[in-house]
Chains A and B, each alone.
Chain A
């Protein structure tokens, strides 16, 4: 099979032998069982050989050992089951040029009886593409390694926050008890005022620390733990709104409850959630109109909404409203850290529920909704 270029080859000449032999890709034809019938000159060149050296061998003999095994275990079966395969990377056997990376496509030509007549393979040299893929792979590995380090760092920071919060609580507890004791010892007006400052300051600080610890719990993957019990939701909601009315005596909270079923929830956490929403509504909403507290419990879900009038939440702020450390505007909010809504959303999540918000010129409405089948009677720590 010593192939010589035809002397009078015009660009459009239908010389298929020339096309077969001198194409820029390799061609290999095997019989129905994979035994080579013909390889073109290009393929033979890549293997530092001549086309007449190959008939009778198996296709896999052209490949380096990895590709040989891969071909027999993956590609040959695929050719028989699917009739073709596309774009598979393998390496040619090393014939002194190194193992040349190639891509192969293969297809099976079937006869009338549906039996394979022969197989055709097209081979593309792919050294540069392989290099490119290797670079991509290295970049991916590097990115993954960096991400891994960052995640570890973030975890350490959050653990630090959790530990810090926990350790701050003890000395603060001491300050609060001391102030409490002092207050009961017949102090004069000036001292009482100073003790009040200590008490309200340490109370705020205590709340902030609790929020930080809830935040750390949420971030460290454990979520906020809840202990669901069956509660009288109406009573619970009245309690919460009464507490807030004590803090803001000149503001109105109007309630509207349609509670048809008993529910199970963590009362302390739900109080924290609703109290936070009400406090936000009071501080950010219009002072002219009341805040509305609505609750609906039907067979499938329970829902609590807190609604206020006043200027809407800006579009930019909406996107981040449940993110940690988010603050409405630049001013410091009541608890100072911007964790309130993040924690509220985490509490909703712990109840298999969701906290959502809508806001327009008429009103701003935060809604907590959870399925009624929930919660699992055992504490959910997920």
Chain B
């Protein structure tokens, strides 16, 4: 199976420049549905699902490869190579924003700029760093997932698999945008919330925009300031939007912030 099928890559829109959207932990590419249409006239839009999420090829999920974010970053590079695109405006939500930074660290020539929506390089508080959670709280999350205390009953899990065509989602497939195989969800949560990629921030050479919500329990405002200070060519915008997904709760504000940044570039 090639990369395009593996990651359920969808290309739409016209334009010479490429915008690639990467979803975060918990959802699939549908989370960009309110944002990406605004860029379709000017950009070639690349959407995809991380392996293990959405309509990706679940059989390609490797517990070894995806035990850290580098595995996902390599997928991003492979998608760009598979489509033969470069000078990409990469838009990553949450943990995918960090995947984008790792990818740009490995292959800077592929990226024109990186837009980080509600990013966090590390979720756990440390000396001189506020990540938002104590280690014990993250352990509690992982334990809750481990014990099936979160989400849908285990019996419902298989329903979401192998659904190649989102448009014909039946009722039986409701909730599927955000429902993943429980084993994969646990592993992705572990990879995401135990990641500490603070060390790469200062190496980022690609210009970047940090979009930070004003009340986000997953990535507090302090994280946005921290990243902005560490990243040489970065701009920080604190949005009025609250929550962790401004692309869903405040798409207009998100679009406006991205558009104005792209004009400045």
The interface of chain A, by Cβ under 8 A from chain B, is 32-35, 58, 60-61, 64-70, 72-78, 80-82, 84-91, 101, 130, 133-134, 137, 140
- For B33, the chain A residues whose CB sits under 8 A away are 81
Q: Would you call A137 and B154 a contact (CB within 8 A)?
A: yes
Q: A34-B242, A58-B217, A58-B242 are known contacts. Are A77 and B31 too (CB-CB below 8 A)?
A: yes
Q: Would you call A76 and B248 a contact (CB within 8 A)?
A: yes
- B6 at the binding interface (Cβ < 8 Å): no
Q: Would you call A74 and B245 a contact (CB within 8 A)?
A: no
Q: Would you call A72 and B244 a contact (CB within 8 A)?
A: yes
How many chain B residues touch A (CB < 8 A): the figure is: 42
- For B242, the chain A residues whose CB sits under 8 A away are 33-35, 58
Q: Would you call A74 and B151 a contact (CB within 8 A)?
A: yes
Partner of B177 from A33, A34, A67, A77 at Cβ < 8 Å: A77
- B129 at the binding interface (Cβ < 8 Å): no
How many whole Å from A34's CB to the nearest CB in chain B? 5
Interface positions of B from 121 to 176, Cβ below 8 Å from A: 133, 137, 140-141, 143-145, 147-154, 174-175
Q: Which 8 A-B pairs give the minimum distances between C-beta atoms?
A: A66-B144, A73-B26, A80-B248, A66-B141, A74-B26, A72-B244, A74-B178, A78-B178
How many whole Å from B163's CB to the nearest CB in chain A? 14
- B215 at the binding interface (Cβ < 8 Å): yes
- For A84, the chain B residues whose CB sits under 8 A away are 174
Nearest to B242 among chain A residues (CB) is A33
Q: A33-B241, A33-B242, A64-B140 are known contacts. Are A77 and B26 too (CB-CB below 8 A)?
A: yes
- For A101, the chain B residues whose CB sits under 8 A away are 149
Q: In the complex, A134 Cα to B154 Cα: how many Å?
A: 11
The interface of chain B, by Cβ under 8 A from chain A, is 24-27, 30-31, 33-34, 94, 133, 137, 140-141, 143-145, 147-154, 174-175, 177-179, 193, 215-218, 241-245, 248-250
Q: In the complex, A10 Cα to B208 Cα: how many Å?
A: 64
Q: Would you call A87 and B149 a contact (CB within 8 A)?
A: no
Q: In the complex, A80 Cα to B149 Cα: how many Å?
A: 23
How many whole Å from A228's CB to the nearest CB in chain B? 28
Q: A58-B243, A67-B144, A85-B175 are known contacts. Are A73 and B24 too (CB-CB below 8 A)?
A: yes
Q: In the complex, A242 Cα to B243 Cα: how many Å?
A: 83
Q: In the complex, A64 Cα to B26 Cα: how many Å?
A: 18
Interface CB pairs A-B, < 8 A, 18 = A58-B242, A58-B243, A64-B144, A66-B140, A66-B141, A72-B217, A72-B218, A74-B26, A74-B27, A74-B151, A75-B178, A76-B244, A76-B245, A76-B248, A81-B248, A90-B150, A130-B149, A137-B154
